[in-house]
Structure 1
Amino acid sequence: MTATIGHFINGQLVTTTGRMQDVHNPATGESERSVLLASKQTVQQAIDSAQAAFPAWRNTPVLKRARVMFKFKQLLEENAEYIGQLIGQEHGKISHDAAGEIQRGIENVEFACGAPQLLKGEHSKNVGPNIDSWSEFQPLGVVTGITPFNFPAMVPLWMFPLAIVCGNTFVLKPSERAPSSTLFIAQLLKQAGLPDGVMNVVNGDKEAVDELLTNPTVKAVSFVGSTAIAEYIYTTANAAGKRCQALGGAKNHAIVMPDADMDNAVNQLLGAAFGSSGERCMALSVVVAVGEKAGDALVEKMQQAMSDLKVGAYSDATNDFGPLISCQHRDKVSGYLSSAEQQGAKIVVDGRGTKVKGYDNGFFIGATLIDGVTADMDSYKAEIFGPVLQVMRVDTMQQAMQLIDGHEYGNGTCIFTRDGEAARYFSDHIQVGMVGINVPLPVPVAYHSFGGWKRSLFGDLHAYGPDGVRFYTKRKTITQRWPSSGVREGATFAFPS
């Protein structure tokens, strides 16, 4: 009998009747759990719980809110190995990769622990005769996060710790494909001392999402996922009068210059392209070699290095990466490889048909290298989201930058070079939100903010860091005057100055 995963509402695990969905172990291909899919009524119950908890939590001193986060951080560290196991069982991520995800999430909790400093307002005395003016940052109310399968711990930790420590209450809708780690983490928050109702988790599909997007009690929506869904989330939430940040898809390019340290570039590209099976919005899926000599050297060295890569189940830490999330996604990735071949590209290393001993029904694709890719190919235009690295060749750095700037996505990019002038020009002029110089995954640390440009982000504010504080608060400016006793002033009709 498979275990049933429910919801976390008002501090309690809740099971309901109704629709369910299988949760597969992608390494075995077997359904090991089932997840309940929330109805509109269940989502409303979670929203009502959050709304009821908001007044008391809003008025809780920020230092006490921060202390909950300090305790929460400790509990995350103590339970990191178990959380990693849950991620591995439902996403397929190798144990060392899951540990890195959890650590990055913990760093966002560390940032949230600084709430007393982050929420300090501004004060000006005597802006006029006996008049003082100041601003403060107040919470929005009930806010929500809708998060993807590929980072079931880290991406929620981008959102709810900061939202909660700013005084909001939260309803989280994690991916129904990998819900267990998120649900367990929510229970750790209660253990850390968070009052019931401040944090709620509802598992579900589009029915739950649409209720969160249109419910008038919800004041803001954070989302991470594909661009098509991000655009839908953004437009729907905005039409309902909500604040929204919706992070979408990516097609991240790396430029390899002729002067690059090729061995170092290859080693960096291996992890950036194939880590987590390429199921990262920051994965490097395209490498643009400047010059035929650089292209030939890159392909030769990549082909050699890829022969040592090991794919398998999450529990074996010697594996480099694991399976894809589902058989449907595996078939979709295979379809892009076939289309690239049909449209004239050369598959140098073919990961299709990869079998892992003892896991014959797993959703595996091995590391794949495609050469001779051009901008008109379907495999180049789309976000493949698999362990696939495509090689393009151009004559100049300017041509490489034109390729990147011409793509609809603008999430992340990097350049491998020893030339400081080239690196500086690249970082100054490329139309992408996150840029690496000899750093293949330029994911900002927790005290900066994460977000792309163009169709990789809908909304004005990036995720977590300083932008996260601004997203989850609203500025209020107060101007105050206490006239001297006994002084009566006449009416003034001119605009105050």
Structure 2
Amino acid sequence: MASPSMPTTIGHLINGESDYSADSLVEVYNPATGEQSAELCFADSDTVERAIASAKSAYPQWRDTPPAKRAQVMYRFKQLLEAHSDELCQLITQEHGKVLSDAQGELVRGIENVEFACGIPQLLKGEHSKNVGPAIDSWSEFQPLGVVVGITPFNFPAMVPLWMWPSAVMCGNCFILKPSERDPSSVLRIVELAHQAGLPNGVLNVVHGGQAVVEQLIDAPDVQAVSFVGSTAIAKAIYQRASEQGKRCQALGGAKNHAVVMPDADIAGAANALMGAAFGSCGQRCMAISVAVAVGDDTADALIAALTPQVKALKIGEGRVAGCEMGPLITQQAKQRVAAYLQAGADDGAELVVDGRERSVPGFEQGYFIGGSLVDRVSPSMSIYQDEIFGPVLVVVRVESLHQAVDLINQHHYGNGCCLFTRDGEAARCFADQVQIGMVGINVPLPVPVSYHSFGGWKSSLFGDLSAYGPDSVRFYTRRKTITQRWPSSGIIDKTQFAFPSTDA
């Protein structure tokens, strides 16, 4: 880690080269120590234009590169990711704060998406029909869009970019990535490895910045599509801005994920599952379980009894320390926000069974640490239930039946993920069928789809028609073109036709 007095300068990567042009410099911190570790160049308008021009220039040749050759580059890239995994995980932990095991899990999930991208040539095959009319053949092709943009969040600095650009470039597009300013180092190192694998200059570019950079990228005439993961308010704004200009957009927003615990559930097993789902990565996951819905007071009491000692015993510390289970939040402001929600919950009448504000980490007093919190007797009207806290807070809501639990979930404005703990197959089938959520788990607390499925919620958790990665990514990053042809031959067209064409003519 660099000395706070001599921070490392992190620049952009444009046309395969580092670029340190800056409208301003923004500080990057190690959240475990609260110390500055780097300064980040925020792009000025000319820098953004250079990135767009680089991608536009590289596009014609990359578009015409055979998909099999693109796949060879992607496979070499996958091998480099695996060879440099320890280095990348160290960078993730130093800037994000998550424990090393969590960083490793993130990177593995990202690599799985690269593996999927290696097989995209199979999904680019079109459809062909012979003799749809007299001597007429018809077929479809999936053609790339051109220059596309990805805007990614701090909570998964490696994985979420790997959701986007490998599929986009495998489809023949050129990509501009705008990563989070909180933890940019692992992103840049990954892009360097992509170039080392043989990705041509200009196919993948990185620019840093805030709202002005994002808006310039969206508004650029040469940008054809935008992918975004972040908060709901920003997701909605980006989707509206891009859509108003006729651009394709997928914008993934926030979540308030529920776990329903039935009376017949294995309470000890459910509690263990909820610990990782609620407090892993300090709760800074869009798929984190933040609400436990207990069916019946007996179930709630048993669940609280099982969770309380585990929440109190969470091993909190610097992410590279062996045995740590939870690191810090990303910023001091995030810590203050979580604390404010806990206070609001207490003021509204909820019971703070475990109050994470009381925890500290010796030797890291300036870090952004907060303990895990368990809050019982929460009602749907409370802000601690309604809002996405994005921190290590698990609230418990008590209901009397599975029907009430499903209604509770369906009435919430978020619709990202949920799960049910039960031994009853009929209850599980009913839940999976009736709950209005995009990703559902049965005795699986984090139902994150594998790379060859697609990731996406409903309601205010996703703006756009296509989900992230998997098969949907190929459809998002390509356009279908249907071609119908007939080669003139004697006797086929012997008179002028005014009727609408059909299979008879």
TM-score range, shorter chain: over 0.9
Tell me, yes or no, if the aligned pair for 2:22 and 2:42 is still in contact at 8 Å.
no
**Matched position secondary structure for 1:77:** helix
Q: Which runs of 5+ in 1 are unaligned?
A: none
1:364 aligns to 2:399 (yes or no): no
Matches within 5 A, 1:132-281: 132-281=137-286
Give how far 1:489 is off.
Answer: 2.1
Give how far 1:308 is off.
Answer: 2.5
Summarize deviations over 1:270-326 as a string: whole Å, max 9, x none.
000000000000000000000000000000110022233101111113101100000
Give how far 1:488 is off.
Answer: 5.5
Work out the CA distance in 2 between the residues paired with 1:485 and 1:361. 85
Give the letter aligned to residue 364 of structure 2. Answer: Y
Q: Which has the larger displacement, 129-138 or 485-494? A: 485-494
**Matched position secondary structure for 2:216:** helix
- Give the structure 2 partner of residue 467 of structure 1: 472
**Matched position secondary structure for 2:385:** helix
- Give the structure 2 partner of residue 39 of structure 1: 44
Summarize deviations over 1:435-491 as a string: whole Å, max 9, x none.
000000000000000000000000000000011100000000001111225766211
Work out the CA distance in 2 between the residues paired with 1:307 and 1:340. 19
Q: Which runs of 5+ in 2 are unaligned?
A: 1-5
Work out the CA distance in 2 between the residues paired with 1:480 and 1:491. 18
Summarize deviations over 1:168-189 as a string: whole Å, max 9, x none.
0000000001111111111111
Give the letter aligned to residue 350 of structure 2. Answer: A
**Matched position secondary structure for 1:414:** strand
1:59 aligns to 2:99 (yes or no): no
Give how far 1:375 is off.
Answer: 0.5
Give the letter aligned to residue 113 of structure 2. Answer: N
Give the letter aligned to residue 110 of structure 1. Answer: E
**Matched position secondary structure for 2:356:** coil
Count of aligned pairs: 497
Tell me, yes or no, if the aligned pair for 1:96 and 1:317 is still in contact at 8 Å.
no
Give how far 1:266 is off.
Answer: 0.3
**Matched position secondary structure for 1:352:** helix
Summarize deviations over 1:31-58 as a string: whole Å, max 9, x none.
1101011112111110000000000000
The two structures have a TM-score, normalised by structure 2, of 0.97
- Give the structure 1 partner of residue 82 of structure 2: 77
Tell me, yes or no, if the aligned pair for 2:375 and 2:394 is still in contact at 8 Å.
yes
Give the letter aligned to residue 351 of structure 1. Answer: G
**Matched position secondary structure for 1:323:** coil
Tell me, yes or no, if the aligned pair for 1:249 and 1:383 is still in contact at 8 Å.
yes
- Give the structure 2 partner of residue 296 of structure 1: 301
**Matched position secondary structure for 2:481:** strand
**Matched position secondary structure for 2:394:** strand
Matches within 5 A, 1:423-434: 423-434=428-439
The two structures have a TM-score, normalised by structure 1, of 0.99
Give the letter aligned to residue 450 of structure 1. Answer: F
> Which of 465, 477, 489 in structure 2 is aligned with 1:484?
489
Work out the CA distance in 2 between the residues paired with 1:88 and 1:360. 18
Give how far 1:242 is off.
Answer: 0.8
- Give the structure 1 partner of residue 3 of structure 2: none
Give how far 1:360 is off.
Answer: 1.2
Q: Which has the larger displacement, 359-368 or 487-496? A: 487-496
Tell me, yes or no, if the aligned pair for 2:22 and 2:43 is still in contact at 8 Å.
no
**Matched position secondary structure for 2:324:** coil
Matches within 5 A, 1:428-443: 428-443=433-448
What's the C-alpha RMSD, in Å, of the aligned pairs?
Answer: 0.9
- Give the structure 2 partner of residue 92 of structure 1: 97
1:127 aligns to 2:132 (yes or no): yes
Tell me, yes or no, if the aligned pair for 2:158 and 2:187 is still in contact at 8 Å.
yes
> Which of 12, 18, 22 in structure 1 is aligned with 2:23?
18
1:411 aligns to 2:416 (yes or no): yes
Give how far 1:18 is off.
Answer: 2.9
Give the letter aligned to residue 484 of structure 1. Answer: S
Matches within 5 A, 1:294-443: 294-443=299-448
1:456 aligns to 2:461 (yes or no): yes
Work out the CA distance in 1 between the residues paired with 2:51 and 2:22. 16
Summarize deviations over 1:118-139 as a string: whole Å, max 9, x none.
1010011111111110001000
Q: Which has the larger displacement, 367-376 or 307-316? A: 307-316
Tell me, yes or no, if the aligned pair for 2:282 and 2:392 is still in contact at 8 Å.
yes
Give how far 1:17 is off.
Answer: 3.7
